[in-house]
């Protein structure tokens, strides 16, 4: 290893954490310690896990320590020839001097295609592009409905006062919950009646983003949420502000992305 | 765990989300570790390290300083010193949005909202509506 440091412990922890894997499966690999510069032979069969933009390999499915990590940023994924002709190979290439491509092979054409697809779309940049596109689509859709909904929500929101400080950030991150129906009407009701839970959201989930109250208005991710804020009306905003001050004045509480 | 340093260094040559000289103190005394930009974020122009930002916690430590810690050991903090409170807020905001998991949750949220409003799945136009990582079930409840 050497000069370029990485918070390996956290990375390894993340590899084994319960966060969803985007793709998993056995692949043949020709890299690794002591591997010849030119791939030869049948390589080695390892268990691969794609999480976000990180591709981990493990000795076996049950293994608790990742063997290797590839960060899938600034790379291309393409079909390739394996040393063993019946393999369904592909390569991850980095456009950097002295970096050999990672040659991998799936058991069949379907798995090969699925891996190439998943890996080539794994970058943060791709994800962000899709998010920005959807964000603007939602803004457009909201725009046409905003006025008619405004009046009815305000009526609901006006008499709905939380009796006790709710531990969740009101409303907003609920939208990220797997709840099938989280229309703003429901969010208002939920906020008033349901107990708050604890969970992972504080750890770099969207909730922590919304709890971060000093967002730049120019931040593209926040524009829609600020609109939603306004829909709740000034009164709710004020209540929330007071609540946040209380919560953050004492101790940070974990937020939960509640299930339905 | 093996990784290729040259690949990480190549990542540092990609456009930065945010770049500045910040004071940094790693979890161990006197260890000079990295500053960061982007999802996994190396210090430019001569990268010495990177921090993966999944499941990290960004905490304000003083008016112009913040720390990053990770789930497996919240007491182990990377401390950063900024020039001003404003710069500190800017970095904290950017760092909180920098994780892949954050993007994923945002995407699912927008997808869900659009589908409710229009009755159409917006991901179909990209041909990615079936991907496991964009399904609601993929989110941990």
Closest CB to B55: pick one of A70, A135, A204: A204
- In SS3 terms, chain B reads as CECCHHHHHHHHCCCCCCCCCCEEECCCCCCCCCCCCCCEEECCCCCCEEEECCCEEEEEEECCEEEEEECCEEEEEEEEECCCHHHHHHHHHHHHCCCHHHHHHHHHHHHHHHHHHHCCCHHHHHCCCCCHHHCHHHCCC
At residue A151, does pLDDT exceed 80? no
Count of residues in chain A:
260
**What tokens were used for A203?**
């750890």
- Give dist(CA A162, CA A235) in Å, integer: 12
At residue B43, does pLDDT exceed 90? no
At residue A187, does pLDDT exceed 60? no
Average pLDDT across chain B, whole number: 81
Minimum distance, in Å, between the CA of residue A83 and any CA atom of chain B: 23
pLDDT at position A133: 93
pLDDT at position A238: 56
At residue B83, does pLDDT exceed 80? yes
Report CB contact under 8 Å: A219, B2: no
Distances (CA, A) of A171 to A93, A230, A243, A249, B16: 43, 12, 13, 21, 32
Q: Does A41 touch chain B (CB under 8 A)?
A: no
Backbone phi and psi for residue B101, each to the nearest 5 degrees, phi listed first? -65, -35
pLDDT at position B95: 93
Q: Is the dihedral of CA A65, A68, A70, A76 positive or negative?
A: negative
Closest CB to B3: pick one of A6, A178, A258: A6
pLDDT at position B141: 37
Task: Please answer whether residues A51 and A21 qualify as being in contact, where contact means their C-beta atoms are separated by less than 8 angstroms.
Answer: yes
CATH fold for domain B5-98: PH-domain like (2.30.29)
Which residues in A lie closer than 8 A to residue B48 (C-beta atoms)? 3-5
Span B52-60, average pLDDT: 91
pLDDT, tens only, A153-164: 555 554 444 444
At residue A108, does pLDDT exceed 60? yes
Report CB contact under 8 Å: A134, B114: yes
pLDDT, tens only, A202-255: 343 333 333 333 333 333 444 444 444 444 444 445 555 665 665 555 544 444
Minimum distance, in Å, between the CA of residue A98 and any CA atom of chain B: 8
pLDDT at position A61: 94
Higher pLDDT: A194 or A92? It is: A92
This complex has an ipTM of 0.82
Span A120-137, average pLDDT: 91
Q: What percent of chain A has pLDDT above 70?
A: 51
At residue B82, does pLDDT exceed 90? yes
- Give dist(CA B73, CA B83) in Å, integer: 28
pLDDT at position A248: 55
pLDDT at position A194: 32
Report CB contact under 8 Å: B104, A99: no
pLDDT at position A193: 33
- Give dist(CA A6, CA A180) in Å, integer: 39
- Give dist(CA A221, CA A44) in Å, integer: 43
Q: Does A178 touch chain B (CB under 8 A)?
A: yes
Q: What domains can be seen in chain A, in order of their start residue?
A: 8-33+40-124 (2.30.29.30), 149-250 (no CATH)
pLDDT, tens only, B5-33: 888 888 888 888 888 888 888 886 444 44
Report CB contact under 8 Å: A128, B103: yes
CB atoms within 10 A of CB A105: 27
CB atoms within 10 A of CB A75: 25
b/e map A184-204, b = 16+ CB within 10 Å: beebbebbbeeebeebbbbbb
Q: What percent of chain B has pLDDT above 70?
A: 82
Q: Does A7 touch chain B (CB under 8 A)?
A: yes
Which residues in A lie closer than 8 A to residue B6 (C-beta atoms)? 94, 96-99
pLDDT at position B110: 93
Highest averaged pLDDT of the listed ranges A175-189, A233-247, B46-60, B102-116? B102-116
Q: What is the largest CA-CA distance in chain A?
A: 72
Span A122-148, average pLDDT: 88
Span A76-96, average pLDDT: 87
| Domain extent listing, chain B | 5-98, 102-138
Q: Which of A27-36, A125-134, A165-174, A215-224 has the lowest mean pLDDT?
A: A165-174
Tokens 């990177």 sit at which residue?
Answer: B50
Closest residue in B to A15 (Cα–Cα):
B54
- Give dist(CA A222, CA A215) in Å, integer: 7
């Amino acid at each position: 290893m050497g000069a370029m440091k990485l918070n390996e412990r956290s990375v390894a922890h993340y590899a084994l954490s319960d966060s969803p894997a985007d793709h998993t499966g056995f692949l043949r690999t020709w890299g690794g310690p002591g591997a010849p510069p030119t791939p030869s032979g049948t390589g080695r069969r390892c268990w691969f896990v794609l999480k976000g933009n990180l591709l981990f390999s493990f000795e076996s499915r049950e293994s608790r320590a990742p063997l290797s990590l590839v960060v899938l940023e600034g790379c291309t994924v393409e079909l390739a020839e394996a040393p063993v002709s019946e393999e369904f190979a592909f390569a991850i290439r980095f456009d950097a001097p002295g970096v050999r491509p990672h040659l991998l092979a799936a058991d069949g054409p379907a798995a090969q295609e699925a891996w190439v697809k998943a890996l080539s779309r794994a970058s943060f940049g791709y994800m962000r592009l899709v998010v920005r596109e959807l964000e603007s689509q939602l803004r457009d859709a909201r725009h046409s409905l905003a006025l008619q909904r405004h009046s009815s929500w305000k009526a609901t929101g006006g008499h709905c006062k939380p009796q006790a400080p709710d531990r969740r950030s009101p409303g907003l991150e609920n939208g990220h919950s797997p709840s099938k129906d989280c229309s703003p009407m429901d969010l208002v009701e939920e906020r008033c009646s349901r107990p708050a839970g604890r969970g992972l959201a504080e750890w770099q989930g969207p909730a922590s983003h919304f709890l971060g109250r000093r967002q730049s208005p120019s931040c593209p991710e926040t524009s829609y949420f600020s609109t939603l804020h306004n829909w709740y009306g000034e009164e709710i905003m004020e209540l929330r502000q007071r609540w946040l001050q209380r919560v953050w004045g004492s101790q940070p509480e974990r937020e939960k992305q509640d299930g339905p | 765990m093996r990784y290729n340093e040259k690949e990480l260094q190549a990542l540092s040559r990609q456009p930065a989300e945010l770049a500045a000289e910040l004071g940094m103190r790693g979890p161990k005394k006197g260890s000079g570790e990295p500053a960061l930009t982007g999802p996994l974020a190396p210090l430019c122009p001569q990268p010495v390290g990177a921090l993966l930002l999944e499941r990290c916690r960004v905490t304000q430590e003083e008016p112009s300083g913040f720390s990053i810690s990770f789930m497996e050991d919240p007491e182990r903090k990377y401390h950063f010193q900024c020039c001003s409170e404003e710069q500190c807020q800017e970095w904290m905001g950017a760092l909180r949005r920098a994780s892949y998991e954050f993007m994923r949750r945002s995407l699912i949220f927008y997808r869900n909202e659009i589908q409710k409003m229009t009755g159409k799945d917006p991901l179909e136009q990209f041909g990615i509506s079936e991907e496991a990582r964009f399904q609601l079930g993929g989110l941990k409840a």
